Structure 1
């Protein structure tokens, strides 16, 4: 059933999708409730929030964060190992716009028996069509939001409401993960400078010349930075500094 724009806006307000409230954070259970509300609003029965699969992290289960897919379907799909190369993910690698797939969203593109079987299985569970888009959080980590069911392409108003609601939801969930916001102890300007030149491939002796410091002092700054970033070596410290957007 299609909803009016006013109904969509009213539901979004009732659900608490106000940017003025984003500092409160959100639990996974609250996230499930919100995704369920948004899915029903757009006429879909199923939802999925997943990290965007990377080259070193492709499995469905390790990327899935929140979903209401039937457990049996999730198990079969994990065993098939097609999430990272599915038609849906492949399509979202080519555009920043929302994607709507009619049938076969989560199977691979190959015309083989396994993909035909997966298409049938998804349809049997009611996941025929899928509307999906990607969003990134404040740390620039990319995620997939997918809404599935038998409904047609959402209207422009429904699509905008889903995009706004999911953006707000992702922001709240991200704020709840305090451990990812930064190191527990603030790095000094000199420590960050040494890490920045280290990331550029400079040795301690070269950094010492650039910053007009002694090699011993540079080593001390790097050692202090590694301790604050809970790192075992310089390379790991640089990687974590990039993740915390210190460099």
Structure 2
């Protein structure tokens, strides 16, 4: 991604991804060129959270499940020096094994040693700050970091695009999990209503009575928590029933 056109293509490919796993794969196809074939992306949880609560802050990852479980189970978040740096002033952090920073505690040294057993030996942590001011860390790692300092900006830009798309897909998935379930007929009626068709016109199109079309629209409106047809259509669009 060394040219403007390549950057645009990368961003376009990410936007075309319809699953977080696809975003992760596309992002890693770029970072692997620099020896970074593992990634963990998430927000920084507060201190004192249990393992499952910590894992809930992960947006996407390709860490071995065994290592992720061990990391949160041992509460290594509490002694991870890279986490402290991100919290105290978000900036890119290249690191190399137990020599990531001077003055590491014995527990932090043990953490880096254990990570190396999972081929997580060197890496780069990139912060991405959302419009709301939330810091999302992108932790890239592999067996050997092979990147010129001037190219870190390239990965920072790529990370921003990847995080943005992953957040969009995460929100879409959340909405779909919590959205009310419309019947097939209710979806048909609300889609025709979005095109400005009246209850009578919808009944003629679908081959049902006007009373039945009114009933389906009323049911859809109730499920969507709307007070009128315009709001029902708007909510159906927001929830993905109308594209």
Which TM-score bucket, shorter chain as reference?
Answer: 0.5 to 0.7
State the match for 1:32 in structure 2: 24
Distance 1:135 1:48, change over 3 A: same
RMSD of Structure 2 on Structure 1 (CA): 3.4
Aligned length: 172
CA distance in 1, matches of 2:121, 2:85: 17
Is 1:69 the equivalent of 2:63? yes
| TM-score normalised by length of structure 2 | 0.58
User: Which aligned pairs between 1:23-102 and structure 2 lie closer than 5 A?
Assistant: 26-55=18-47, 57=49, 59=51, 60-102=54-96
Report the Cα offset of residue 98 of structure 1: 0.5
Report the Cα offset of residue 146 of structure 1: 0.9
Distance 1:58 1:89, change over 3 A: farther
Q: Deviations over 1:43-95 (max 9, x none)?
A: 21211111122347575422222111112111211211121441110112232
User: Which aligned pairs between 1:61-210 and structure 2 lie closer than 5 A?
Assistant: 61-104=55-98, 111-112=105-106, 114-152=107-145, 154-176=147-169, 177-178=171-172
Report the Cα offset of residue 148 of structure 1: 0.6
Tell me if the contact between 1:48 and 1:64 (Cα under 8 Å) persists in the aligned partners. yes
Tell me if the contact between 1:39 and 1:47 (Cα under 8 Å) persists in the aligned partners. no
| TM-score normalised by length of structure 1 | 0.57
CA distance in 1, matches of 2:81, 2:93: 10
Distance 1:147 1:57, change over 3 A: same
Tell me if the contact between 1:83 and 1:89 (Cα under 8 Å) persists in the aligned partners. yes
Tell me if the contact between 1:101 and 1:129 (Cα under 8 Å) persists in the aligned partners. yes
Determine which structure has the larger helix proportion and give its number.
2
Distance 1:71 1:36, change over 3 A: same
Q: Deviations over 1:89-143 (max 9, x none)?
A: 0112232320112214899x7633x444332221122111120121122333221
Is 1:5 the equivalent of 2:14? no
Report the Cα offset of residue 12 of structure 1: 4.0
Distance 1:116 1:98, change over 3 A: closer
CA distance in 1, matches of 2:17, 2:131: 14
Tell me if the contact between 2:126 and 2:159 (Cα under 8 Å) persists in the aligned partners. no
Tell me if the contact between 1:130 and 1:149 (Cα under 8 Å) persists in the aligned partners. yes
